[in-house]
Amino acid sequence: MAASARIAVQLLLVLILFGIGRGIGGVLGSLPNMPDMLPIGISFLAIPVARLLWDPRKAGAMDKLLDDALAKIESNPAPLEGGDRAYAEAVTAPLNGLSDDVTEAELESHLSALRALVNEPMTYEVLLTRVQTNAASLAGKRALMLMASDTATLGRMAMSRVPMQVMDVLGTETALIQRMAERLIAGLRQDPDVWKNCPNMGFLEALHAQHPTIKPAIAALQVEILTQAPRD
């Protein structure tokens, strides 16, 4: 019964598309010199060919993989509270495969989706370790930079010295350090309380010497931190 229904649907689609093609050909004044039954015959031939190409064992393995992934997610509907590092490594791995020029908006969208699967401190630790061990792609480094310079993320993680730690591990990635300084300046202007998470003056002075080409951005961050720091 199922096979008969599939054949009937296939025949209907072929006839509709064949009719459209004939109509276009009539308008253009050019019709192919072929028997009307040829497209229908090719369509029916596609069914056994597709069955020959389809490997039920591979399909079963793929179904099991998808079922296991869904079961893992369903068993952890809330962000994990530490612990499952292997799971965090797995679900954050796609960040490392993104192109170097992926937009910040896309990266932020990925990070937002990850919050439903893994708690942010765990995500941060995984991304940080990848950078520290030279296992992070440029997209992975950028994702870490975005986490460490987002005021909302810093507030939720409630971890000290995160921006300073990330600026330090980014090393020679001058452009990322500059972008991070710019984002922290913007964040401070929106939420002055972020100053307590920002790098200290001594660390920023050392960055001056290490990255002279971005000294203006670092100096501007210093000024903003001093401006927003509470007065005794």
Percent share of the chain, pLDDT over 90 = 43
SS (H, E, C) the chain: CHHHHHHHHHHHHHHHHHHHHHHHHHHHCCCCCCCCHHHHHHHHHHHHHHHHHCCHHHHHHHHHHHHHHHHHHHHCCCCECCCCHHHHHHHHHHHHCCCCCCCHHHHHHHHHHHCCCECHHHHHHHHHHHHHCCCCCHHHHHHHHHHHCCHHHHHHHCCCCHHHHHHHHCCCCHHHHHHHHHHHHHHHHHCHHHHHHCCCHHHHHHHHHHCHHHHHHHHHHHHHHHHHCCCC
Give the tens place of pLDDT for each residue, 10-25.
Answer: 555 555 565 556 555 5
Average of per-residue pLDDT values in the chain: 78
pLDDT at residue number 229: 78
pLDDT value for 65: 44
pLDDT at 69: 46
pLDDT confidence tier of residue 38, bands split at 50, 70 and 90:
low
- Indicate the pTM of the whole model: 0.65
Position with higher pLDDT, 1 vs 129? 129
Residue 39 has pLDDT above 50, yes or no: yes
Dist. CA 165–CA 180, nearest whole Å: 12
- The pLDDT > 70 percentage for the chain reads 63
pLDDT value for 159: 86
Whether residue 9 is predicted with pLDDT greater than 50 in this model: the reply is yes
Stretch among 35-44, 81-90, 165-174, 208-217 having the lowest mean pLDDT: 35-44
pLDDT on residue 107: 94
What pLDDT band is residue 181 in, cutting at 50, 70 and 90?
A: very high
pLDDT of residue 74 exceeding 80, the answer is no
Q: In Å, how far are 166, 170, 199 from 161, measured between CA atoms?
A: 9, 14, 7
Q: State both tokens at 127.
A: 């991304």
What is the pLDDT at residue 32? Answer: 60
pLDDT tens per residue, range 183-222 = 999 999 998 888 888 889 999 999 989 999 999 999 999 9
The dihedral built from the CA positions of residue 147, 151, 153 and 159, taken in this order, carries a sign that is: positive
Q: Comparing 4-18, 84-98, 131-145, which segment has the lowest mean pLDDT?
A: 4-18
